[in-house]
């Protein structure tokens, strides 16, 4: 069946939110009441690929946001906390990045990928929005391994895992919060994932043999994936002409080469970009695939600007799409 036209969706949502249609019991927005119908219209009118700063502040902020899982690398002192602070400063809800178990914003990359996959399923079942996963260095490897877990590469069953109690629920499927149908964890599809400076050499040195052949192969368990690399990254073992990320099926996969001046360890350091007017304006105007000239003022620090802008663009896009999907599903629009 083809999707309903936008006009029908808009009409149905307005009728439902104004009380003229039956509300879907048990489907209240997480932590929020019914949004104003005018805000719903603005949400539906947004172009997900061109979400501006005012759209984030005035529209998206009125709706739930997908949870973001930030995975740090293997070098303990370097975490994804600075990147979390950057996203928060750009307007992302802090509670959707904070780990509900320990209160932090950055998770270890030495965890069990099957447990993380089970946690992602739990989040979707309980929050009604698919999480986004972003990993730096070894964290990128863990993000990609989770995608292969969800695709069934390492087994056909994964237990659902409660991230708050840190315990298995002893079941391998969730009740889809939209359709009400039973959905195995294996087979779930995330909206977006990203790997920053994730190379094959560390996989070899750390004995992560099973990921060497899979590290650059992105399965259909994600809709959009972006891989970021510095060409001369000795820590990652990345050199010019290295194998790019590629989809094994229908996933949309992009490869982004970062400026040579960036450093592997320093890549999460992005919080300064949100606090400078020039870099913040550049980030807000950024669209992947364009060749915008970076700010060249002497007093402007543009370090890590490219991947910060690219990821923020994708995060805004997925926030818009997931909020829209949640609103439409909430009213069971055909």
Question: Are the CB atoms for 196 and 233 separated by under 8 Å?
Answer: no
Burial code (b: 16+ CB inside 10 Å, e: under 16) for 220-250 equals ebbbbbbbbbbeebebbebeeeeeebeebee
Q: What is the mean pLDDT of each run of 10 residues along the chain (334 residues)?
A: 48 46 39 76 96 97 97 93 98 97 93 97 96 97 97 97 97 94 97 95 70 94 97 88 94 96 97 96 93 81 97 98 89 51
For 150-202, write each residue's pLDDT tens digit.
999 999 999 999 999 999 999 999 999 988 999 999 999 999 999 999 988 77
Distance CA 22, CA 81 (A): 43
Question: Are the CB atoms for 267 and 306 separated by under 8 Å?
Answer: no
- pLDDT value of residue 138: 94
DSSP 203: H
Distance CA 267, CA 144 (A): 18
Among candidates 106, 99, 78, which has minimal Cα distance to 269?
A: 78
For 77-122, write each residue's pLDDT tens digit.
999 999 999 999 999 999 999 999 899 999 999 999 999 999 999 9
Find the length of the chain.
Answer: 334
Distance CA 129, CA 127 (A): 5
- pLDDT value of residue 262: 96
Distance CA 106, CA 274 (A): 19
Q: Which domains does the chain have, with CATH numbers?
A: 67-307 (3.40.50.1820)
Question: Are the CB atoms for 287 and 49 separated by under 8 Å?
Answer: yes
Residue 218 bridge partners (DSSP) = 247
Burial (CB count <10 Å: 0-12, 13-18, 19+), residue 291: exposed
Residue spans of alpha helices (H) in the chain: 6-17, 37-45, 53-58, 81-89, 113-127, 138-150, 200-205, 271-274, 277-285, 305-330
- pLDDT value of residue 92: 98
- pLDDT value of residue 13: 53
Burial (CB count <10 Å: 0-12, 13-18, 19+), residue 106: buried
| 3-state percent breakdown (helix, strand, coil) of the chain, nearest 5 | 35, 15, 50
Count CB neighbours of 184 within 10 A. 17
- pLDDT value of residue 4: 47
- pLDDT value of residue 9: 52
Among candidates 195, 158, 218, which has minimal Cα distance to 69?
A: 195
Distance CA 194, CA 229 (A): 11
Distance CA 229, CA 226 (A): 10
Residue 159 bridge partners (DSSP) = none
């Amino acid at each position: 069946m083809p999707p309903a036209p936008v006009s029908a969706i808009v009409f149905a949502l307005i009728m439902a939110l104004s009380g003229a249609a039956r509300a879907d019991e048990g489907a209240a927005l997480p932590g929020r009441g019914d949004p104003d119908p005018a805000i719903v219209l603005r949400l539906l009118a947004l172009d997900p690929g061109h979400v501006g700063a005012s759209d984030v502040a005035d529209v998206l902020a009125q709706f739930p946001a997908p949870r973001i899982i930030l995975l740090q690398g293997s070098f303990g002192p370097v975490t994804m906390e600075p990147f979390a602070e950057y996203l928060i400063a750009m307007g992302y809800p802090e509670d959707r990045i904070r780990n509900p178990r320990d209160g932090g914003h950055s998770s270890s990359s030495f965890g069990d990928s099957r447990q993380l996959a089970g946690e992602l399923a739990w989040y979707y079942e309980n929050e009604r929005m698919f999480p986004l996963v972003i990993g730096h260095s070894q964290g990128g490897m863990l993000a990609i391994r989770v995608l292969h877990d969800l695709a069934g590469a390492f087994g056909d069953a994964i237990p659902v895992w409660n991230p708050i109690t840190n315990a298995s629920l002893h079941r391998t499927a969730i009740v889809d919060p939209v359709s009400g149908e039973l959905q195995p964890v294996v087979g779930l599809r995330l909206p977006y994932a990203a790997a920053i400076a994730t190379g094959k050499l560390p996989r070899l040195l750390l004995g992560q043999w099973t990921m060497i052949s899979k590290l650059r192969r992105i399965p259909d368990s994600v809709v959009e994936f972006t891989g970021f690399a510095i060409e001369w990254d000795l820590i990652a073992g990345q050199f010019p002409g290295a194998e790019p990320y590629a989809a094994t099926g229908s996933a949309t996969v992009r490869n982004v080469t970062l400026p040579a001046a960036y450093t592997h360890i320093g890549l999460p350091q992005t919080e300064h970009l949100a606090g400078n007017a020039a870099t913040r304006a550049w980030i807000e105007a950024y669209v992947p695939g364009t060749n915008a000239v970076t700010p060249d003022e002497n007093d402007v620090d543009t370090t890590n600007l490219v991947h910060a802008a690219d990821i923020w663009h994708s995060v805004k896009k997925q926030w818009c799409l997931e909020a829209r999907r949640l609103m439409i599903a909430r009213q069971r629009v055909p």
